[in-house]
Amino acid sequence: MVQLVGSLRKELADSISTCKVLVVGAGGIGCELLKNLVLTGFKNIEVIDLDTIDVSNLNRQFLFQKKHVGKSKAQVAKESALQFCPSANITAYHDSIMNPEYNVEFFRKFMLVMNALDNRAARNHVNRMCLAADIPLIESGTAGYLGQVTVIKKGMTECYECQPKPAQKTFPGCTIRNTPSEPIHCIVWAKYLFNQLFGEEDADQEVSPDTADPEAAWNPEETAARATASDKDGDIKRVSTKEWARSTGYDSVKLFNKLFKDDIMYLLTMDKLWKKRKAPTPLDWHQLENSECPKEGTPASGLKDQQVLDVWGYCQLFQHSVETLRSQLQEKGEGAELVWDKDDPPAMDFVTAAANLRMHIFSMNMKSRFDVKCKSRTKATKQSCQSFYSQISTTNLNVFVNFSSAMAGNIIPAIATTNAVIAGLIVLEGLKILSGELESCRTIFLNKCPNLRKKLLVPCVLDPPSTNCYVCASKPEVTVKLNVHKTMVLTLQDKIVKERFGMVAPDVQIEDGKGTILISSEEGETEGNNSKFLSDFGIRNGSRLQADDFLQDYTLLINVLHVEDLERDVEFEVVGEAPDKAPPPQTNQEEVNSITNGNKDSAQPSTSSKAPSEDDDIMIVDSDEEDGAASSSAAAAATGGTKRKHSDAETGETSTKRPRTDQSAGDNNDDDDIIALD
């Protein structure tokens, strides 16, 4: 007769009470997960999160209260979880999982790792650490009413990076507010600014410097002190951006100097942010007016919307648009608000001017009005929905931007109940692993609407590892197309090896028979190479580079394919992958009515793929008019890109997991944009 401890077999209950698990992330899913683990009987838990608690977290992260604002998420989550089970042994780390001390040996301490992350870099890193340590990893994520859970085990299933993923378009709030590095960051900031000044204010769309940026203060006490300096115990006492602007009469010069001078000078005081970044350069209206006015009057060539103005030109555009929008507010009366519309010229002028001024401050090339509004409009629109889940983020302020009009539209809110369902599924998959039943684990998609079989939860058999994966293959190898005469070593290090291939502290050597070290992880050892071109080291078409990351226990062979010209604004391409696209979905006309489940990155809240948050297309993900299969297809898109046929875990029938794109709906709504928070 089977002995039970509560509702669990005694053997399983004993395993639960003695095993050690790691939870990475203590936000939306992480809070629910930590609570579930202690209530299930897990006694040895370690949780890590770099973030601090923000007021906007309190509506869904129920381990936190107003008095906790500014404190470490991991530490407060631990303290709250212990109230459910005081006998549990929980260790909290207010730190980044990508720090060197969390090495392979650290991961080997655990029987199970559970991810609840909000960015692709960390997901990639944890994926590799679990592969190196040969520890099962449970990935998860949510976006609105949609969610996903999947299991990754070395040699048995696809790893997180087996499927190509489009470029990310989910960004932490501190990136938008403090350290933008791409034009899209500035465009999102400018869109938020429009709402903060003229539209409906949203606490998740703050534009002022983020004083609680965890990267600016690694000491938890220092971070908490910064947050509470303005928010005493969570009671917000500061004047809102809109109230301040109204008090100035929407004076365009005062607004300009506050946004582009005073706030930037404040950012410069957060010196830790600029140790490895180029610091921003503040702009002063009066200095620009005195120095730039004589230069105006030079006619620009080309169509008006395609012209890239100079700094003073965007200053004047900013001034004119502010005055026009102020007049519109006055016409509507006291307390009126403007609604963002990218087809409204003054609104578009404002966002174009503000975004470009911020780009200039952070040393980026400025863009035309046309680029800001319509860059990759149709293509992006479709990609965004198809990859909707691959970049789903799970906690914290993350922005999912539809590049179809480059900014803006509807918000997909974080739903607390979705996080709760997904956290429960994570524990159930964990119980299967601890029972030794890894073969029964599934990728599970949570849909908004029932599918054709009346299911909200759709389980799918796990895929085997991809033989072409550049992470989990026996001998990882890739081919990169670039111009060796124009690509600098710093670009190879930061944008290719670190950003694209996810290494943290790489060493790169040339396979030239001499073992020439091109990039060293030892600080200062090869900095002199950074400004040199690859061709300066004899790298040419057919050269091979070996990149090693000791921390990740990962080696990648990079084949160099020299090309003279790439597409505009493209510095390199990985051969076999279209830039910023996930593989096209496979379709089978006979299976159009089958259940479409979704890609692996779809619920990617915790798993992201290249297509993840970039999702740039209008795929109807949550339409109330869709039939049941639609939402599961959305989930599929979310997971990451394409999926092969999978058999339904219950019926054994095969179904094509592909994103569902409603053509007619897409045609009618290709101007809609999606911003996902969480």
CA distances (Å), origin 11, targets 3, 7, 437: 8, 12, 13
Q: Determine, yes or no, domain membership for 398.
A: no
473-524: pLDDT as tens digits: 988 999 999 999 999 999 999 889 998 898 998 999 999 888 899 999 988 8
**CATH number of 339's domain:** 1.10.10.520
Q: Determine, yes or no, domain membership for 661.
A: no
Q: Say whether both 155 and 178 belong to one domain.
A: no
468 among the known binding-site residues?
Answer: no
pLDDT category of residue 464 using cuts at 50, 70 and 90: very high
Q: Determine, yes or no, domain membership for 590.
A: no
**CATH number of 484's domain:** 3.10.290.20
Cα 566 to Cα 563: distance, rounded to the nearest angstrom = 7
Q: Say whether both 11 and 145 belong to one domain.
A: yes
Q: Say whether both 317 and 194 belong to one domain.
A: yes
Q: Determine, yes or no, domain membership for 663.
A: no
469 among the known binding-site residues?
Answer: yes
Least confident range from 184-188, 334-338, 445-449: namely: 334-338
How many domains are there within the chain? 3
Q: Determine, yes or no, domain membership for 421.
A: yes
Cα 83 to Cα 65: distance, rounded to the nearest angstrom = 14
Catalytic residue among 85, 174, 385, 460: 174
96 among the known binding-site residues?
Answer: yes
Q: Say whether both 13 and 148 belong to one domain.
A: yes
Q: Say whether both 25 and 161 belong to one domain.
A: yes
Whether 174 sits among the annotated catalytic residues: the reply is yes
59 among the known binding-site residues?
Answer: yes
Collapsed DSSP state (helix, strand, coil) of residue 518: strand
Q: Say whether both 71 and 26 belong to one domain.
A: yes
Q: Which of 560, 575, 590 is the last residue of a domain?
A: 575
Across the chain, mean pLDDT equals 76
Cα 621 to Cα 659: distance, rounded to the nearest angstrom = 9
Q: Say whether both 255 and 278 belong to one domain.
A: yes
**CATH number of 40's domain:** 3.40.50.720
Q: Determine, yes or no, domain membership for 435.
A: yes
335 among the known binding-site residues?
Answer: no
The fraction of the chain above a pLDDT of 90, given in percent, is: 43
CB neighbours of residue 25 within 10 Å: 34
Q: Say whether both 46 and 128 belong to one domain.
A: yes
Average pLDDT over residues 644-672: 40
* CA torsion, ordered 67, 172, 678, 116, to nearest 10 deg: -80
315 among the known binding-site residues?
Answer: no
CB neighbours of residue 587 within 10 Å: 11
Which regions of 35-135 does DSSP assign to beta strands (E)? Answer: 44-48, 89-93, 112-115
Collapsed DSSP state (helix, strand, coil) of residue 628: helix
Report phi then psi at 423, rounded to 5: -60, -40
Res 214: pLDDT: 64
73 among the known binding-site residues?
Answer: yes
29 among the known binding-site residues?
Answer: yes
Q: Which of 376, 401, 424 is the last residue of a domain?
A: 376
Q: Determine, yes or no, domain membership for 660.
A: no
Q: Say whether both 98 and 42 belong to one domain.
A: yes
The DSSP output letter for 466 is P
CA distances (Å), origin 198, targets 137, 250, 261, 359, 491: 45, 10, 21, 22, 39
Q: Which of 399, 431, 460 is the last residue of a domain?
A: 460
Write out the two tokens for 351: 């966002």
* Strand order across the beta sheet in which 554-562 lies: 516-519, 506-510, 544-549, 554-562, 477-482, 573-574
159 among the known binding-site residues?
Answer: yes
Q: Determine, yes or no, domain membership for 225.
A: no
8 Å CB contact between 608 and 471: no
Res 55: pLDDT: 83
CA 569, 574, 575, 581 torsion: positive or negative?
A: negative
Q: Say whether both 494 and 419 belong to one domain.
A: no
Average pLDDT over residues 459-486: 92
Domain extent for 184: 173-219+240-293+302-376
Q: Say whether both 557 and 432 belong to one domain.
A: no
58 among the known binding-site residues?
Answer: yes
The DSSP output letter for 460 is E
Half-sphere exposure of 174 (CA within 13 A, CB side): 19
12-31: pLDDT as tens digits: 999 999 999 999 999 999 99
Q: Say whether both 19 and 120 belong to one domain.
A: yes
